[in-house]
Structure 1
């Protein structure tokens, strides 16, 4: 099922189909991109067949058809300084958010990811809105999933721990962690002021387990990867403080150490089974440049 690259102009690369095949299968075999990226190009209206945009994965290709693949790196219908769309299909959107924006509306604050995405869906004439599946704190950056319909949101909400099989964060923490890695576990419970307290004995809260791995260190700071076994509120921030190395910039559980003038916590890896198709979806973003500069 090989094809011929016959022309490249403007923002598209063009192919001629030599064998009958479903569109997605053809693209996976002939493009030098991951399955996830190819599906994102499809859903982002970046594929044309005989000059017409096609988003249907199983669109039947016939010998002689002309395929045009967009080479543009960004989704031209969406621009935001706070959010980057990493992947989108008819059921979900995976985004990377910057620090400083809420996951959803709270109180009188109008700046939140849900509002921004709903505006994008409206402008791109998609007859839907996003549903919140999980949250990141305002000052935490990184990867998030939003559902595009209620049914998908319910599947994710009620099967979260079976669907999401790997979540990792990277943080700059205060002080030099001598150990290369380890595991932190405790019961976490909020008080009436919404401060999360950690206890080594059951305090009526929720049991939480965090694994950590030190990626780099100086005498003043450590760059740490945290892998969540459970997903409790403020889990990483509290557990990091538990071992005497709070996340830098954490005004709630930290020690005042704030070299980057932000909460130094980034959700950099998110792996899950697609709630509808069951496909393994694996996303990873680079460690923020500002984090890495501390350890050069």
Structure 2
């Protein structure tokens, strides 16, 4: 018999879902058969499929240790998935990574495998397997998940929650603007030393965000504050505080004041003249936007250094080493 103590991360789950996630090597029909035949009990009593588990419950599985170990592993689930992630902070509740430009956070219909979510889950899965082999504790069932997202070609901070309580708490804090977020953006032209862009936005056909001429039910208020960190020739680097968090907010806001992001084809910033020499064709034209700093309500500062490709582009645009230091000092 195998005994698994339900942790707080899995409290509130229905028993069939808990078993399904605990034993990914067992098909759903097998899980239902285990429940139907009494091979799963909670605190020594038989359970029903829809019963809800609570923290501290002991789930008994009537199966051999060797079968249990085999059933908890699903190596094919992450076969071929890259484990390459840049971890900038981790504790028992969250994992924070520096996302590279060009990588989706979530998969779309044509890109289900190489996404940031899959990389993080594969990375933690491998580590969990190693730790489990040397420990007596059973694995948690909660699947790590991002609490916010970035555009494919925006680099920088993405926070993943490790349990349901943290996911709910951080999502609420982000929605209520208790989490402060700053981005570094390369924009066309010389912007003022500082400014505020207070302009409502709305989504249009084609996944494009525009400044709303009139406020209506499709419009959402949006506020961005910026400081010019440096300027050279035809460009400036802005440190932008995203007070609200609308889709494509920074890109649409800077286009609206005549300073679209450098390389942002979708929002009027077309250029390919100064892309890094080793960049692929697909990387040569996209917005230069980096989620650099996040401050949590408890005061913790999460900082993501500029990617090499971003720094290379600034150097090619003419920014000096001293200006680069100014840009990265937040």
Shorter-chain TM-score: which interval? Answer: 0.5 to 0.7
The whole-number CA distance in structure 2 between the counterparts of 1:206 and 1:163 is 15
Deviation, 1:129, is 2.3
Asked whether the equivalents of residues 99 and 141 of structure 1 are also in contact (C-alpha less than 8 Å), the reply is: yes
CA separation of 1:255 and 1:163: change in aligned 2, threshold 3 A: closer
**Any residues of structure 2 matched to 1:122-133 within 5 Å, and which?**
122-125=125-128, 127=140, 128-133=142-147
> Who is 1:264 aligned against?
288
- SS of the aligned residue for 1:239 comes to helix
CA separation of 1:248 and 1:80: change in aligned 2, threshold 3 A: farther
> Who is 2:197 aligned against?
184
The whole-number CA distance in structure 2 between the counterparts of 1:139 and 1:223 is 17
Unaligned runs of 5+ in 2: 1-81, 129-138, 276-283, 321-330
> Who is 1:172 aligned against?
186
Asked whether the equivalents of residues 189 and 203 of structure 1 are also in contact (C-alpha less than 8 Å), the reply is: no
Higher strand share: 1
**Any residues of structure 2 matched to 1:1-296 within 5 Å, and which?**
80-81=83-84, 83-109=85-111, 110-125=113-128, 127=140, 128-162=142-176, 164-177=178-191, 179-204=192-217, 205-258=219-272, 259-260=274-275, 261=284, 262-273=286-297, 279-287=298-306, 288-293=310-315, 294=317, 295-296=319-320
The whole-number CA distance in structure 1 between the counterparts of 2:210 and 2:237 is 24
Asked whether the equivalents of residues 156 and 163 of structure 1 are also in contact (C-alpha less than 8 Å), the reply is: no
Deviations 1:48-68 (A, max 9, x none): xxxxxxxxxxxxxxxxxxxxx
The whole-number CA distance in structure 2 between the counterparts of 1:200 and 1:227 is 23
- SS of the aligned residue for 1:119 comes to helix
Larger Rg: 2
- SS of the aligned residue for 2:168 comes to helix
Deviation, 1:164, is 4.0
The whole-number CA distance in structure 1 between the counterparts of 2:89 and 2:146 is 16
Asked whether the equivalents of residues 131 and 148 of structure 1 are also in contact (C-alpha less than 8 Å), the reply is: yes
Unaligned runs of 5+ in 1: 1-78, 274-278
Deviations 1:165-193 (A, max 9, x none): 3211011111222x111000111111232
Asked whether the equivalents of residues 146 and 158 of structure 2 are also in contact (C-alpha less than 8 Å), the reply is: no
The whole-number CA distance in structure 2 between the counterparts of 1:119 and 1:80 is 6
Q: More displaced, 185-194 or 162-171?
A: 162-171
Asked whether the equivalents of residues 88 and 303 of structure 2 are also in contact (C-alpha less than 8 Å), the reply is: no
Deviations 1:133-188 (A, max 9, x none): 100001000011111122221122223245743211011111222x1110001111
The whole-number CA distance in structure 1 between the counterparts of 2:313 and 2:238 is 10
Higher helix share: 2
Asked whether the equivalents of residues 168 and 270 of structure 1 are also in contact (C-alpha less than 8 Å), the reply is: yes
Which structure is higher in RCO with an 8 Å CA cutoff and minimum separation 6?
2
Deviation, 1:270, is 0.8
The whole-number CA distance in structure 2 between the counterparts of 1:164 and 1:152 is 15
> Aligned pairs, how many?
211
Asked whether the equivalents of residues 163 and 272 of structure 1 are also in contact (C-alpha less than 8 Å), the reply is: no
Q: CA RMSD in A?
A: 1.9
Deviation, 1:286, is 3.1
The whole-number CA distance in structure 1 between the counterparts of 2:205 and 2:144 is 31
